[in-house]
């Protein structure tokens, strides 16, 4: 039996980033992964979806060029080449992880971990013991109980990127972030796309004003959005709805969220939360079993790659006697990578008021910014949520080009315990989109 200071189950963002941190702290480290290194994010989520969305941005740029004095023609969309490029990107990043493991002396074990006892696991007939164990086993697509669904072929977020032929008609059950991003990408490629959502609206986790802009953009592109949908059944080639007739498709994507992989935690007898959905951990991500930790999808919160990575780092630092405060949910940026991009962090105005803050909210549109006007990218806004007494930064929302990158300027000040004053008094280069952040901050100072 081989022994390691840190044994990690799962090589997704929560696992492989934690492994590197653990090794750099001087631990002997092994990582067990039954699928491909990089987990959901790298192989079937964040990275492949962004590869496809980049084509959407390029095609949108072509439309802008044709509307503003340049004539550009796209002769065809070679989808097999798109898929090939996506696969190459994934392969390149997988190789990067393996190189990092090798550089840091991290032992990578390919195979499924079977729990034996204590902190011992078996893989392919070999047993491994971890003085400390980190569970980062992620999740799998949640499939709702829809009549007829099991009788037909359909795609999940795990199999979507296996598709090698562009669909003519794509129906998507689920209007969350993943469903909307893939709807946008496929519409750009020329597919007829319908989003079917049972909730009162799509993107319920997204700021209300941002959501309105996104919905208007999707509809302007011809994406059909059906909310409050009641699915009677799914048949071959169509989704039958109560009150909305039938939605035809030649490909159906079920994007209704994810469920946690709890097989190993249950086998270990780890304590779960009251609803038996997530592994219960303390502020250092330690489970009910001493020296066994859990992060990412397993423990709830934001099921985002960067959240899992941050938690994984905190967990292995705690194992090494370097305990730190846990990752705050208010410090996690939440992006939506369509056009315009959306990104936000922290509290909403409503949340802040419920917590008793004397809230100040200011917003500046991209249409007020010289760089945005010159770039013909005036759709969107910068919003900062603050409070009157100390002008603390409670949250922010950016809708517009490069929002997912711009949000970090505000987030970094928030993390450094800075205030709106620092944003207002920083010298921003002109002309830049970032000036909108300063302009919004200055508006807040006028409330003094």
Positions annotated as catalytic residues are 430
- How far is CA 259 from its chain centroid? 15
**CA atoms within 13 A of residue 217's CA, in its CB half-sphere:** 23
Rounded to whole angstroms, the Cα distance separating 247 from 238 reads: 5
Q: Collect all residues with Cβ–Cβ distance below 8 Å to 197 and sequence separation of at least 6.
A: 174, 175, 179, 225, 226, 227, 228, 229
- How far is CA 382 from its chain centroid? 21
Element (H, E) at 254: strand 251-254
Rounded to whole angstroms, the Cα distance separating 298 from 295 reads: 6
DSSP state, residue 252 = E
Element (H, E) at 349: helix 349-354
Q: Could you please report the per-residue DSSP string of 256-311?
A: --EEE--HHHHHTT--B-TTSSSB---TTSB-SSTTEEE-GGGG-S---HHHHHHH
Q: What are phi and psi of 394, to 5 degrees?
A: -95, -25
DSSP state, residue 392 = B
Rounded to whole angstroms, the Cα distance separating 178 from 45 reads: 8
């Amino acid at each position: 039996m081989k022994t390691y200071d840190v044994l990690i189950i799962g090589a997704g963002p929560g696992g492989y980033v934690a492994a590197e941190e653990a090794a750099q702290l001087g631990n002997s480290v092994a990582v067990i992964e039954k699928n491909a290194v990089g987990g959901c994010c790298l192989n079937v989520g964040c990275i492949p979806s962004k590869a496809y969305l980049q084509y959407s941005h390029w095609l949108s740029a072509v439309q802008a060029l044709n509307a503003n004095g340049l004539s550009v023609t796209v002769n065809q969309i070679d989808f097999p080449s798109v898929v090939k490029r996506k696969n190459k990107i994934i392969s390149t990043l997988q190789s990067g992880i393996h190189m990092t493991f090798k550089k840091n002396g991290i032992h990578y074990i390919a195979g499924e971990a079977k729990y034996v006892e204590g902190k011992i696991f078996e893989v392919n007939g070999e047993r491994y013991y971890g003085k400390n164990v980190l569970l980062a086993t992620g999740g799998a697509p949640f499939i709702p109980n829809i009549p007829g669904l099991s009788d037909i072929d359909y795609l999940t977020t795990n199999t979507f990127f296996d598709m090698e032929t562009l669909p003519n008609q794509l129906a998507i059950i689920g209007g969350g972030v993943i469903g909307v991003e893939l709807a946008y990408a496929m519409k750009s490629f020329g597919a007829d796309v319908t989003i079917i959502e049972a909730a009162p609206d799509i993107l319920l986790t997204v700021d209300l004003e941002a959501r309105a802009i996104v919905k208007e953009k999707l509809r302007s592109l011809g994406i059909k959005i059906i909310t409050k949908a009641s699915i009677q059944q799914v048949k071959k080639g169509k989704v039958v709805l109560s009150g909305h007739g039938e939605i035809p498709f030649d490909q159906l994507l079920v994007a209704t969220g994810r469920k946690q992989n709890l097989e190993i935690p249950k086998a270990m007898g780890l304590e779960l939360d009251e609803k038996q959905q997530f592994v219960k951990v303390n502020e250092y991500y330690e489970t009910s079993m001493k020296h066994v930790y859990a992060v990412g999808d397993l423990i709830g919160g934001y099921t985002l790659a960067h959240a899992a990575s941050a938690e994984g780092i905190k967990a292995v630092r705690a194992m090494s006697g370097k305990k730190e405060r846990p990752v705050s949910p208010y410090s996690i940026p939440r992006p939506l990578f369509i056009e315009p991009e959306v990104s936000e962090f922290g509290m909403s105005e409503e949340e802040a008021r419920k917590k008793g803050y004397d809230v100040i909210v200011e917003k500046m549109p991209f249409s007020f910014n010289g760089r945005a006007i010159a770039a013909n990218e005036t759709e969107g806004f910068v919003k900062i949520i603050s409070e009157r007494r100390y002008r603390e930064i409670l949250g922010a929302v950016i809708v517009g080009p490069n929002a997912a990158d711009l949000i970090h300027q505000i987030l970094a000040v928030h993390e450094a315990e800075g205030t709106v004053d620092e944003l207002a008094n920083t010298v921003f280069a002109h002309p830049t989109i970032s000036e909108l952040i300063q302009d919004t901050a200055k508006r807040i100072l006028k409330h003094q």
